[in-house]
Amino acid sequence: MIETIFEALQFTFMRNALLAGVLVSIACGIIGTFVVIKRIVFISGGIAHAAYGGIGLGYYFKYMVLPLLFTGSVAAADQRPGYWPLVGAILFSLFAALVMGIIQRQTRQRADTIIGVLWAIGMAIGIIFVDLTEGYKVDLMSYLFGSILTVEQSELWIMVGLDGVIIVLVALFYKELVAITFDETFATVENVPVDALYLGLLCLIALTVVMMMRVVGLIMVIAMLTMPAAISGHLFRDMKKMIIGAIVLGVGFAIVGLWVSYTWNLTSGASIILVAGILYLLSLGVKPLRARLSFKV
């Protein structure tokens, strides 16, 4: 396995893929822990699918708006997607997260209904703007199911920046985030700005979701966001240890998944998720085993 990995790393696209997997694992380990403990897993899927609207807007802006502004002709557009779809997804997912959170907190409507509506609107907007983009039709499958092997260096720098934002904000507001994650009532009594922090947490989820989109795709975002944190939760009680464990597990899943995909010529994103899913199922036996050992002692 080790020899195969070193052989694969001779290729630039594999090195970029591995770096993308590591960077995404850092974000997933941190934010995924809060998502799992607070039980807002479904909201990540809603934000992910709403972000598809930003992808469509990004492509339309690159292939239709920019060429007209600078050259006066759509035919002059550079046919490489570049980072515009990723930037569009960041902006749109942040907007969707804020709208979703504000409506939920202010009106107290059912969260699943709001998520479903924004999910559908975002997907519809993305598809319509792709249809409106003349002369170039993007491969939608790469965003729905991931395309980690095609991650560009410019996208890696964006991921580094997003990781930095997530790490800094979580470090600054760690105690407050822990408070609203475990007990919002207690946090309110202690004068913690619960609503503002909740919206901030949704925005961090949005940034993490956008990072995962290029690795495993919109369809499998929930799995990558939650499984490393869930497995780590079976192993550790302390939240900081749980976060570190989730990051390490995410990196491990990325490495093993890339090795599986390279060895057997399989889709990389699906291979990463399959590896994570198998280990998650195995980890379900950890709690019962601990309980039996404790009882015997």
| 183-240: pLDDT as tens digits | 988 898 989 999 999 999 999 999 999 888 878 887 788 888 999 999 999 888 899 9
CA distance 184 to 295: 34
**Domains along the sequence of the chain with CATH:** 2-296 (1.10.3470.10)
Contacts of 87 (CB under 8 A, 6+ apart): 54, 58, 158
What is the pLDDT, as a whole number, of residue 2? 66
| Per-residue tokens: 275 | 């590896």
| Per-residue tokens: 261 | 């995909």
Cβ(231)–Cβ(72) below 8 Å? no
Neighbours of 247 (CB within 10 A): 22
> Each residue of 233-292: pLDDT tens digit?
988 889 999 999 999 999 999 999 999 988 898 888 889 999 999 999 988 876 665 555
Residue 164 predicted with pLDDT over 80: yes
Q: What is the mean pLDDT of residues 135-154?
A: 73
What is the pLDDT, as a whole number, of residue 292? 58
Tell me the whole-structure pTM to 2 decimals.
Answer: 0.87
CA distance 229 to 21: 16
| Burial of 277 from C-beta contacts in 10 A (0-12 / 13-18 / 19+) | middle
Helices (H) and strands (E) in the chain, counts: 16, 0
What is the pLDDT, as a whole number, of residue 73? 60
Residue 296 predicted with pLDDT over 60: no
CA distance 218 to 145: 6
The CA-atom distances, in angstroms, between 83 and each of 24, 72, 183, 210, 281 are 17, 22, 39, 12, 36
What is the pLDDT, as a whole number, of residue 297? 41
CA distance 91 to 111: 22
The pLDDT-based confidence of 161 (bands split at 50, 70, 90) is very high
User: Which phi and psi angles does 48 have, rounded to 5°?
Assistant: -60, -50
